[in-house]
């Protein structure tokens, strides 16, 4: 499709879509808790709907009246064998986290997804789950989907030093540990988003976190709750960037989740000299706020180390931000970008360079030379929603030519109304 080429500033107020990570987990926790869970402001994007359908396939009654989702949980023991293999679509969160839940069942489940999922490495979850007593295997003896998960009701606890900084892997192990007999200890490589830990507490579970060490004993029973999902800062990142780099712009984003393990992009914007106003609201356990950005003169910085897990999903749009900053921006320690929906290191460099950017891919990140004008080009999302949205924001900077995006439909995975919100701002 032809992307919007903007000739005026972006101005206005928009409500950001609901948080994808919390939406996934709200269905999962509702399914494994005992009693009724109600979910408000659920993200009805393709990925989260894959999670909802997966648990319906496992025998959980889930009702959606268009406003509120009601999950009738019966505990871990209430899950039933699926009548056929479960399709997770494009959702890495669904397939990885559900493996931890299935690890403690008394039955075998098959999981598969689209062509992108078939390329996602799964040993990072398979190895610890199997160490706990389940039997997870990939296609033809590999680590890649389709997967088979043979659960056991006699899961053993684990002491696990995580080799990668991944909230998905951590969450899968935590779901298994809730069903194991004894105390499990998980030590993170770097602190990652902690929605799973927060929701264990919200649903009445017991978990202890000290720095990078997590302790959790099982088996535990959880109780249904009411969940109100805040806006997704990962979706907000695209319009935060647009407001900073499109001339004559000022954008206000409402109800954005501000969990400290997710707000690395705010730190980066402030370090680069961006004009950003943060007005916090919500509770200590469920922080949210209103963010306002306006066109700014930016400077290049280095982004590395412990901040990387706090903005891993935002790095593609941060790379675009850096193309409009004076000087060089260096991103390091971001190897995890290679195993997302696509290799985002290569995808970002290849597609933005087509448009005139000066970006060098490295083994663990990117070197971005700014400030560079961008031109029209034929580009692709590679079927990756975040690459697709980043390229549309890039197209707003183009002075001549047009930008044609292949596989634009991928954007619906996390932000179904993305183009509608964009239209609202530039009109």
Q: Is 63 exposed, middle or buried (0-12, 13-18, 19+ CB in 10 A)?
A: exposed
| Cα separation, 251 vs 117, whole angstroms | 35
Phi-psi region of 242 (alpha: psi -120 to 50; beta: other; left: phi over 0): alpha
Quote the Cα angle for 75-78-80, to 5°.
Answer: 145
Q: Are 125 and 111 in contact (CB under 8 A)?
A: no
Among 28, 49, 8, which Cα is nearest to 224's? 28
Among 111, 134, 163, which Cα is nearest to 339's? 163
Name the token pair of 386: 């975040």
Name the token pair of 200: 């264990």
> Where does 33-166 have alpha helices with state H?
46-57, 92-102, 123-131
Is 140 tagged catalytic? Answer: no
Active-site annotation holder among 46, 47, 87, 313: 313
Find out whether the peptide bond into 371 is cis, omega within 30 degrees of 0. Answer: yes
Max CA pair span of the chain: 63
Beta pairing partners, 34: 74, 223
* Distance (Å) of CA 379 to CA 190, 345, 373: 34, 15, 16
| DSSP line for 298-355 | -B--EE-GGGGGGSGGGHHHHHHHHHTSBEEEEE-S-GGGGGSSS-HHHHHHHHHHHT
Among 291, 298, 303, 300, which Cα is nearest to 273's? 298
Name the token pair of 319: 């790379």
Name the token pair of 218: 């099982």
Among 413, 420, 332, which Cα is nearest to 368's? 332
Name the token pair of 222: 């959880």
| Cα separation, 123 vs 413, whole angstroms | 24
Residues catalogued as catalytic: 313
């Amino acid at each position: 499709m032809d992307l919007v080429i903007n000739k005026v500033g972006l101005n206005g107020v928009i409500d950001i879509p609901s948080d994808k990570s919390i939406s996934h987990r709200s269905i999962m926790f509702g399914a494994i808790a005992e009693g009724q869970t109600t979910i408000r402001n659920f993200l009805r994007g393709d990925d989260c709907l894959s999670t909802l359908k997966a648990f319906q396939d496992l025998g959980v009654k889930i009702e959606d009246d268009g406003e509120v989702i009601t999950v009738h949980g019966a505990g871990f023991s209430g899950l039933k064998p699926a009548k056929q293999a479960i399709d997770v679509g494009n959702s890495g969160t669904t397939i990885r986290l559900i493996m931890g839940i299935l690890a403690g069942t008394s039955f075998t489940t098959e999981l598969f997804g689209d062509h992108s999922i078939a390329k996602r490495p799964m040993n990072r979850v398979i190895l610890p789950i199997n160490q706990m007593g389940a039997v997870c295997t990939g296609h033809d003896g590999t680590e890649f989907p389709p997967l088979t998960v043979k659960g056991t009701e006699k899961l053993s606890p684990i002491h696990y030093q995580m080799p990668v900084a991944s909230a998905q892997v951590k969450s899968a192990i935590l779901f298994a540990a809730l069903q194991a007999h004894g105390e499990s200890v998980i030590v993170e490589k770097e602190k990652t988003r902690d929605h799973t830990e927060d929701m264990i507490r919200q649903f009445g579970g017991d978990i202890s976190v000290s720095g990078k060490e997590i302790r959790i004993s099982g088996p535990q029973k959880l109780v249904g709750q009411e969940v109100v999902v805040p806006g997704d800062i990962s979706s907000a990142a695209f319009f935060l960037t647009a407001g900073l780099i499109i001339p004559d712009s000022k954008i206000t984003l409402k109800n954005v989740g501000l969990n400290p393990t997710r707000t690395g992009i705010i730190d980066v914007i402030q370090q680069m000299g961006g004009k950003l106003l943060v007005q916090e609201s919500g509770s200590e356990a469920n922080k949210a706020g209103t963010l306002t950005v306006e066109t700014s003169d930016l400077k290049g910085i280095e982004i590395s180390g412990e901040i990387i897990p706090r903005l891993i999903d935002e790095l593609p749009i941060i790379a675009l931000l850096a193309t409009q900053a004076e000087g060089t921006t260096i991103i390091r320690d971001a190897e995890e970008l290679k195993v997302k929906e696509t290799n985002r290191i290569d995808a970002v460099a290849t597609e933005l360079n087509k448009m005139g950017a000066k970006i060098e891919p490295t083994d663990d990140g990117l070197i971005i030379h700014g400030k560079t004008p961008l031109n029209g080009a034929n580009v692709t999302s590679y079927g990756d929603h975040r690459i697709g949205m980043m390229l549309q924001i890039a197209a707003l900077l183009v002075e001549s030519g047009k930008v044609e995006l292949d596989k634009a439909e991928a954007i619906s995975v996390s932000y179904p109304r993305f183009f509608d919100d964009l239209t609202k701002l530039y009109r």
